[in-house]
Structure 1
Amino acid sequence: MRLINRRPGRSWRVSLAILPFALLLIAYLAGSATRLAENPQDKLLPSVVQMAAAVDRMALTEDVRTGRYLLWDDTASSLKRLGMGLAIAATLGLCLGVLSGTLPMFGISLSPLLTVLSMIPPLAILPVLFIVFGLDEFSKVMLIVIGITPVIARDIEQRAREIPVELLIKAQTLGANTWTLILRVVLPQLLPRLLIALQLVLGSAWLFLIAAEAIASTDGLGYRIFLVRRYLAMDVILPYVAWITLLAWLMDFGLKRLTRAAFPWYEGGRA
């Protein structure tokens, strides 16, 4: 049988999915053991014991100065900013995408604008945001919004233009006006795509959040990573990076399950 036609069974799928992570872990443990054997004070590749001690210190022990558990405090601050940014960006992206993709009069103006805005590197205007909005929470949330809204809007716009014209004509034949057409025909087609678009921009949203927290913040996961980097505290940095990755994966998984639960017809229809 040709390799392109072979489909692994369930057990093989699980094994093949775990394999690259296992290889990376083995490579790290081997590299860490080698470096620590040569220099027990080496900080570049801390051992599992060192990272476990750092996690205990950051997550399970109260900070002497603040009396808080730093990992959970940082996580709450970051998730609050990220959630606000994603919610605002999703709302704006949906509205702009619907207007641009459904109404030609708006699309003529909005489509080129969204294209240009999506090409602007958000991190390049971070100093502008701090100057205009200050160093408070709003500027950090706005970086996420500015960074991902044009991407979401362009994705929604493209999906809106792919809606069969026959559906729109039939709805108008039955007496639907523009507002009814958008609410009853267009939006149900676009909402599952919005959730998928949020999955696609999650990585970028985390990037903008970490960058903003690293530059101007007093708490948050990005702030903590860049704070301890001056001490070369890789035993703290690596668990924080792993924790951020886990949070991002859980959010992606949650959005995927929400899409399947709320719009079970979508994947079948696309297939």
Structure 2
Amino acid sequence: MTRLVDIRLQRGTRLLLGALPIVVLLLVYLLASEARHLENPADKVLPTFSAMADAIRAFTTDRDPNTDQIILVADTLASLYRLGIGLAIATVTALVLGLLLGVMPLARAILGPTIAVIAVIPPVAVLPILFIVLGLDEASKIALIAIGIAPFMTRDLTNFVAGLPAEQFTKAQTLGANSWQMTIRVALPQLLPRLIEALRLSMGPAWVFLITAEAVASDVGLGYRIFLVRRYFAMDIILPYVAWISLLAITADALLLWISRRGFPWAHGAGR
């Protein structure tokens, strides 16, 4: 008798099964939307696919008065710029601190408690402070993303490095390696795929912080546009924007996974 845990699926089958729930959800939405519009043609809660198509056509052709770019392009570029800079700052910070704290117990004893305290502070709670200190421009939005995910990534990377087999460092010391060489040649190569994995896990929270900051104080961006049109109950715009954000997030995650598998195949087991 074949156990469920022993079933292995081909790639095509996995893709088909993965797409099935999405198709079902779309069909359910289609039926519910059509039913609501039969009762009330002016319903805005569940816009029809044709209404969303008209909205998509509008914000992919109309231009934003602030940037003179197509609205969707202007919003996407602004959001990706903020997200990219925030993620870059958080990644570099987490990499440096993760190596330092993971390799050196003294540094972990000094800085570990502080990072642990920062990690449990809700990042959105410090947003007003960031606006006061850094102003309402790009710096505060980027800082929220960096502050929101850097502590989590740092703790994850620190625990990973600290959990590496002690024999590896002992052998390196036997061969005459100093602290710097052990960090760069022993810990860093093994940490890089973990860094990419931590970055993938941080993408979701990073988008939340970005949209939150844009909703509070911004004049362009994906989050700004969603919160701008919500006062008009423009679900025909909100839903496509949410779908576009999801597509961007999925694309970024797939790209990071591809980089990890191409750059560090040894870190990925068979069947993943």
Structure 2 length normalisation: TM-score? 0.95
1:205-249 deviation digits (Å, cap 9, x = unpaired): 000000000000010000000000011110100000000000000
Q: Deviations over 1:111-159 (max 9, x none)?
A: 2222111110001111111011110100000000110000000110011
Residue matched to 1:208: 209
Find the aligned partners of 1:193 and 1:266 in 2 and give their Cα distance.
Answer: 9
Q: 1:52 to 1:25 in 2, by over 3 A?
A: same
Quote the residue 1:230 is aligned against: 231
Alignment coverage as a number of residue pairs: 270
Partner residue in 2 for 1:155: 156
Give the superposition deviation at 1:65: 7.4
**TM-superposed deviation, 1:66:** 5.7
Instruction: Check the 8 A contact 2:64/2:74 in 1, yes or no.
Output: no
- Structure 1 residues 121 and 64: CA distance shift in structure 2, 3 A: closer
Q: How does 1:122-133 map to 2 (within 5 A)?
A: 122-133=123-134
Aligned to 2:122: 121
Among all aligned residue pairs of Structure 1 and Structure 2, give the percentage whose two residues are the same amino acid. Answer: 52
Q: Could you tell me which residue of structure 2 aligns to residue 143 of structure 1?
A: 144
Distance (Å, rounded) in 1 between the aligned partners of 2:10 and 2:40? 45
Counterpart position of 1:178: 179
Cα distance, 1:13 vs structure 2: 2.1
**Equivalent position of 1:265 in the other structure:** 266
Q: State how far apart, in whole Å, the 2-side matches of 1:65 and 1:176 are.
A: 57
> Cα deviation per residue 1:47-84 (whole Å; 9 max; x = unaligned)?
11111111110012334776421001000000000000
Q: Distance in 2 between matches of 1:41 and 1:147?
A: 41
TM-score, with length taken from structure 1: 0.96
Counterpart residue number, 1:23: 24
* 1:58 aligned residue: 59
Residues 166-224 of structure 1 show CA distances to partners (whole Å, capped at 9, x for unaligned) of 11111111111111111111111111110110000100000000000000001000000
Query: What letter matches 1:240 in structure 2?
Result: Y
Q: Which runs of 5+ in 2 are unaligned?
A: none
Q: How far apart in 1 are the matches of 2:162 and 2:90?
A: 21
Q: Distance in 2 between matches of 1:167 and 1:64?
A: 59
Partner of 2:34: 33
Q: In structure 2, how many angstroms separate the alpha carbons of the residues matched to 1:72 and 1:14?
A: 30
Correspondence for 1:49: 50
The verdict on how the C-alpha distance between 1:9 and 1:258 changes in structure 2, with shifts beyond 3 A counting, is closer
| SS across alignment from 2:43 | coil
Alpha-carbon RMSD across the aligned residues, in angstroms, is: 1.6
Letter aligned with residue 164 of structure 2: I
Unpaired runs of at least 5, structure 1: none
Check conservation: 2:67, 2:74, Cα contact below 8 A.
no
Determine the structure 1 residue equivalent to 2:14: 13
| Cα pair distance change 1:63/1:77, threshold 3 Å | closer
Secondary structure of the 1:188 match is helix
Counterparts of 2:255 and 2:156, CA distance in 1: 20
**2-structure distance, mates of 1:212, 1:45:** 27
